[in-house]
Amino acid sequence: MSPKMMGRWRNQAIAIGAAAMIVLTAPANTAQPSGVHPGPMSRQDAFARAEALTALGRQMFFDPSLSASGKQACSSCHDPNHAFGPASAAPVEMGGPNLNRPGIRAVPSLRYLQAAPAFTEHFYDSEDEGDESVDNGPTGGLTWDGRADHGKDQARIPLLSPFEMGNKDEAQVVASLRKAPYADAFKAAFGADVFDHPQDAFDAAVEALGTFEQSSTDFYPYSSRYDAFLAGKAQLSAQERRGRMLFEDEAKGNCASCHLSEPANDGEPPQFTDYGLIAIAVPRNPAIPANADPNYVDLGLCGPLRTDFKGRTEYCGLFKTPTLRNVALRKSFFHNGYFHTLREAVAFYASRDSDPARWYPKKADGMVDKFDDLPKAYWPNLNTDPPFNGRKPGDKPALTDAEIDDIVAFLGTLTDADQAGQ
């Protein structure tokens, strides 16, 4: 394993341990082990509380009454039968009070986010833990631009987004919770008077959702055939083995440079992401209504949804590297859902630079409008590591058609057992 990968895994192992401890710690604002902010708890009480919040969060996750329309639950876009990702092939989902407001980005899967570290602008790692000298740049966080650090932070976004669940404010969410069939369970977990304090009640709601999303059975079962293969309990076909080699070959697919595929030094299963944010210039998707405005550009880390890096040109066009676990279930790919088959997505990497006419439209003068969804001022931010590797139009692509098929076959081994046949 390369020094970069080893360093990543050390930090991922720390993050996994931290996630596991979330249920054991809480702000010590009160002396009682109940309420919105319980004080220190015994291990037994902490696990009992986590179990209660998980059950409560599960009910909330599937409850459409928590949306302004009364028809859209978290599960409407994060379908458990599609690895908690979208069931549709649409690049974006519809939301809002009347379910007629289109989103601007593809819906990501909520599986395998438990080890994501908090966002940092500068992620340092090296083979020698005593000399963390390699700056890998923006890393971590949740969502396509990394603007939420924890599940409870992420849960706030769709509840209040005007083009998602569409609630006008926290009080509207709390009013729905007060009428929910699990309102008594909510009060039992967070205090009998919790609904009298709307901000506390909203904070409690997103904590319950975040706790549910730490459920290993639901969100990180590690039950794929590749996991079984790593444990010596399954075999890969010849094509899948070739695909794995190409996936990890630094001169070919080089996919594992960002989508880490080897177990951690402590045996922790691979997450198939390094949690970094990079720019790869996916073609502009005309199927996203926001893109009808030629002046609108989704620049990821530097906006428009994330605002703290607005004006930081070196970060424009960067998007989160998602896990590839369960990727074969998806019907749209990348942050804008431009591609609709896994094979197309892999092929794009192989020939983005050697055959740009295949991927990008032509301008009025007949020239290829290369990198058409990224203004030229930000082209220096583009990733040029293999398989891109500085290739020019007409050069041989990084992967042959057969090799692309092999990688796609390997990616099919990352589907969890409970998703097989979906």
* Residue-averaged pLDDT of the chain: 90
Q: Residue 353 class from Cβ within 10 Å (0-12 exposed, 13-18 middle, 19+ buried)? A: buried
Task: Give CATH superfamily name and number for 225-419.
Answer: Cytochrome c-like domain (1.10.760.10)
Is 90 exceeded by the pLDDT of residue 251? Answer: yes
pLDDT for 209-222, tens place per residue? 999 999 999 999 99
Taking the C-alpha atoms of residue 134 and residue 112, their distance in angstroms, rounded to an integer, is 26
pTM for this entry: 0.89
Is 80 exceeded by the pLDDT of residue 4? Answer: no
Query: Which whole number is the average pLDDT over 259-282?
Result: 94
DSSP state of 373: T
CATH architecture of the domain covering 43-108+143-219: Orthogonal Bundle (1.10)
Taking the C-alpha atoms of residue 396 and residue 401, their distance in angstroms, rounded to an integer, is 12
pLDDT for 14-43, tens place per residue? 333 333 333 333 333 333 445 777 878 889
Query: Which one, of 253, 267, 203, 195, lies nearest residue 12 by Cα?
Result: 267
Is 90 exceeded by the pLDDT of residue 104? Answer: yes
> What are the residue boundaries of the structural domains of the chain, listed by start?
43-108+143-219, 225-419
Q: Do domains 43-108+143-219 and 225-419 have the same CATH topology?
A: yes
pLDDT for 329-366, tens place per residue? 999 999 999 999 999 999 999 999 999 999 999 999 99
pLDDT for 294-326, tens place per residue? 999 999 999 999 999 999 999 999 999 999 999
Is 90 exceeded by the pLDDT of residue 293? Answer: yes
Sign for the pseudo-dihedral over CA of 140, 141, 142, 144: negative
Say what the pLDDT of residue 51 is: 95
**C-alpha angle 286-352-302 in degrees, rounded to nearest 5:** 60
Say what the pLDDT of residue 360 is: 98
